[in-house]
């Protein structure tokens, strides 16, 4: 939650010309937490699903406008080149550990984001399973990997190559900004300022950043409430008070860490918190393989081809 508000904070700071301070970030976390509470209180269909749908259309609209208002041909051509480079150098990038120069890029980006996704994985997997009732495991894996990767690729191609065009034209030097230690959130808000009517797009970026954050952590609150419930409502959902409790808890943690020292402490906490979860992943992997083998054996004995559906 603390990292999700970074882009909102940077965009708001750029929009209304105030300092991007811890006080501003705390205020945005409070607003995001209220939005999460509203979404998770209304439930899976009337809250989480509605907010996610709104978020999807707003994000696609944003990307569409950046593509149209920006250097469309350059973005398209560089997108094709980028995909080819990614496929061709995938394994080299995957295993690169920077043994010679030993700068902090690998630790600050590659290793950190591996740890971040490890920490997010358990609750995200449970939520995907919860909303995928009636689908096969093959459909779920294909959907999550396929649509998820396509969405990430679309954002990187459009926003990334729009930024590259500014670098090549000499309009905005990303290289200089990186060397100065400027955060990615600040650089993104500054890049968006080069679109026509920058105030509109900065406000738009802040709004979708806030909703993106809320749609991630209302799901987390829902999963935590489900996992800690002994009984469920008639609708099959955990109690509302429990959903709200977890939403408040998720909001309180980044507030505490920000008060203690800022976003760097959030990054460290994410890395440390992900380490014990690796053991959980091992147990989960063994468990699901054993479960699938059990169902496969049952299907063979009954002379039926087993179909694994999520319930």
Per-residue pLDDT tens digits for 138-188: 888 888 888 888 998 999 999 999 999 999 998 999 889 888 878 888 899
Q: Which helix (H) or strand (E) holds 216?
A: helix 198-227
| Whether pLDDT at 302 is above 60 | no
Residue 58: which of 198, 196, 211, 190 has the closest Cα? Answer: 211
Residue 269's pLDDT is what? 67
| Whether pLDDT at 285 is above 90 | no
Taking phi over 0 as left and psi of -120 to 50 as alpha, with beta for the rest, 134 belongs to left
**What is the share, in percent, of the chain residues with pLDDT greater than 90?**
27
More reliable by pLDDT, 67 or 6: 67
Q: 3-class DSSP state for residue 285?
A: helix
CA separation for the pair 298, 308 (Å, rounded): 12
Whether this prediction's pTM lies above 0.75 is answered by: yes
| Whether pLDDT at 303 is above 70 | no
**What is the share, in percent, of the chain residues with pLDDT greater than 70?**
88
Judge whether 79 and 157 are in contact, CB under 8 Å: yes
Residue 266's pLDDT is what? 64
| Whether pLDDT at 260 is above 80 | no
| Whether pLDDT at 202 is above 90 | yes
Residue 304's pLDDT is what? 58
| Whether pLDDT at 8 is above 80 | yes
| Whether pLDDT at 251 is above 80 | yes
Which of 58-62, 135-139, 256-260 has the highest mean predicted lDDT (pLDDT)?
58-62
- Average pLDDT score over residue span 8-24: 88
Residue 69's pLDDT is what? 92
More reliable by pLDDT, 121 or 189: 189
Residue 264's pLDDT is what? 64
CA separation for the pair 43, 39 (Å, rounded): 7
| Whether pLDDT at 18 is above 60 | yes
Residue 70's pLDDT is what? 92
């Amino acid at each position: 939650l603390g990292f999700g508000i970074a882009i909102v904070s940077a965009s708001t700071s750029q929009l209304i010309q105030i300092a991007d301070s811890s006080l501003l970030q705390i205020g945005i976390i409070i607003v995001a937490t209220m939005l999460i509470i509203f979404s998770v209180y209304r439930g899976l269909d009337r809250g989480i699903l509605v907010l996610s749908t709104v978020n999807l259309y707003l994000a696609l609209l944003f990307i569409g406008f950046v593509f149209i208002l920006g250097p469309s041909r350059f973005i398209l051509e560089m997108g094709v080149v980028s995909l080819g480079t990614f496929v061709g150098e995938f394994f080299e990038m995957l295993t690169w550990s920077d043994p010679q120069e030993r700068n902090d890029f690998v630790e600050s980006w590659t290793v950190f984001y591996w740890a971040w996704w490890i920490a997010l994985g358990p609750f995200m997997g449970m939520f995907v399973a919860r909303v995928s009732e009636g689908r096969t495991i093959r459909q779920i894996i294909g959907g999550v990997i396929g649509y998820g990767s396509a969405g990430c690729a679309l954002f990187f191609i459009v926003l990334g190559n729009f930024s590259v065009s500014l670098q090549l034209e000499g309009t905005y030097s990303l290289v200089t900004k990186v060397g100065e230690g400027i955060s990615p959130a600040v650089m993104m808000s500054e890049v968006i300022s080069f679109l026509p009517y920058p105030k509109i797009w900065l406000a738009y970026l802040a709004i979708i950043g806030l909703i993106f954050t809320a749609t991630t952590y209302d799901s987390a609150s829902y999963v935590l409430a489900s996992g800690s419930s002994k009984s469920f409502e008639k609708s099959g959902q955990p109690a509302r008070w429990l959903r709200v409790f977890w939403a408040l808890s998720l909001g309180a943690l980044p507030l505490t860490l920000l008060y203690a020292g800022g976003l760097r402490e959030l990054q460290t906490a994410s890395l440390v918190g992900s380490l014990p979860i690796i053991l959980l992943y091992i147990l989960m992997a063994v468990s699901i393989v054993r479960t699938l083998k059990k169902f496969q054996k049952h299907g063979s004995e009954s002379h039926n081809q087993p179909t694994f559906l999520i319930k």
